[in-house]
Each structure stands twice: as structure tokens, then as C-alpha cells.
A and B are shown apart, each in its own frame.
Chain A
Amino acid sequence: KNEVEQSPQNLTAQEGEFITINCSYSVGISALHWLQQHPGGGIVSLFMLSSGKKKHGRLIATINIQEKHSSLHITASHPRDSAVYICAVADSNYQLIWGAGTKLIIKP
């Protein structure tokens, strides 16, 4: 079993829909990251969380440490949000453990 599990693996939605991507992990963590990878491959860090909730524009990330679960939400989704969203956790040694990613497609 992978230490970081993301769901769904693939998600297709219509423009304007509210999007939720989930991440569950099984190890003790120092922090959890949400990252975005566009088709060209470059990775952009969206959020780093160790508790609670963070918001940036239309993106919201939450984490529940007790349940070892985090969610990434996108409000009013747009085709430019189409990308792979990756969850990664930093373990107690600060090493990153990566999820496999969620491929999101937003149709106009």
C-alpha cells in the first residue's frame, strides 16, 4: 500500500464546477504539500500545510492531522486549471513522499 494515496486518479468536470481532490497518508508528517504540474512538466508549489486551512484565490487546501487526510478544492473551475495535482508529505526526516497525482480536465 502506498504511503500517500490520492483520489480520484482522473477527474473531468465542466467549467464552473466545484472541484475536490483528496489525499490520505499513513505516516507521521512534518508538513503536507499540494503541487500543480502542467503538461510541460514543470511543478509549481501551491500550498504547504501543517494544520487547518489555507486559501489562495480560488484554491483552498485543508488538512485534518488526526484523520491523516487533506483536500484541495477549486471553486469556479476554469479550463486553465487543467493540470495534474500532486499531494506530497514531508516525513519526520523532512523527506518528501509523493502521491501519484490527480489528472484534472476542465471542459469549457
Chain B
Amino acid sequence: DGGITQSPKYLFRKEGQNVTLSCEQNLNHDAMYWYRQDPGQGLRLIYYSQIVNDFQKGDIAEGYSVSREKKESFPLTVTSAQKNPTAFYLCASSIWNRYRGYTFGSGTRLTVV
């Protein structure tokens, strides 16, 4: 079955360390997205990518970096510059040139101690 795989589900890191969250899809979707969720708030867009080797900043890109070397993969790196990295991170994908909805991953809960 096609879908999005995010790993790991839970991740713990020490303050000051960079950490990379994985997102892989086998849906042949063009566009991929990373969102961040904080308690009591709506999800916010970090980065998105419409095609391979291209990506755009979302509303809260500071302290994050991404790459899109393959259509299937869109990893997110939370750098030490991100002031409050502890959050729930959600990856999603969609067809870009016509709206057919989104497919969502199961998310990664990152805790920085």
C-alpha cells in the first residue's frame, strides 16, 4: 500500500545537537511538506518542496533545513539554531498541479533535553 513513512516516532536529543527527521513516500507525489505542532496550536508550515532539488521556506523555517534529492524523500534537519525544537513534526505529500488532497505521515515527536 502507498503511504508516507516517518521515522522515528519518538526522538530524544541533547540540546545543541542537530537531528534529522526522515520522511519517505511511495505515492509518486510531487509535493512534500513539513509541519510543526505545538500544544494548543494549529500546525505551522516549516518547508515545502514541489519538485526535486527545489524547496521553499514556510512560515517558521528559521533553525531548520531540508533537502529534496529524490522525489520519494524529504528529510528535515532541526539544527542547534532552532530555539525551541521540542514539538511534534508532521510530514505530508500531495499532487502539485491539481488538488486531490494530502496524505499525512504518522509524525515524529522530538524532545530536546
Contacts and interface: CB of A to CB of B under 8 A. Distances in A.
Bind each other: yes
Interface of A: 2, 4, 30-31, 33, 35, 40-45, 48, 86, 88, 90, 94-101
B88 A41 contact: yes
A86 B107 CA distance: 15
B90 interface: yes
B99 A41 contact: no
Instruction: Tell which of B35, B92, B94, B101 has the most Cβ of chain A within 10 Å.
Output: B101
Nearest to B58: A95
A96 B102 contact: yes
Contacts of A101: 42
A94 B42 contact: no
B55 interface: no
Interface string B84-113: 000010101010100101111011010000
A41 B107 contact: yes
B41 interface: yes
How many chain B residues sit at the interface, stated as a range, is 20 to 34
Nearest to B44: A98
A40 B94 CA distance: 23
Contacts of A98: 35, 42-44
Contacts of B107: 41-43
21 contacts: A30-B99, A31-B99, A31-B101, A33-B102, A40-B106, A41-B107, A41-B109, A42-B106, A43-B90, A43-B104, A44-B104, A48-B101, A86-B43, A88-B43, A90-B99, A90-B102, A94-B96, A96-B92, A98-B35, A98-B43, A100-B41
Contact of B40 (A30, A40, A100): A100
Nearest to A5: B42
A31 B59 CA distance: 21
A96 B93 CA distance: 11
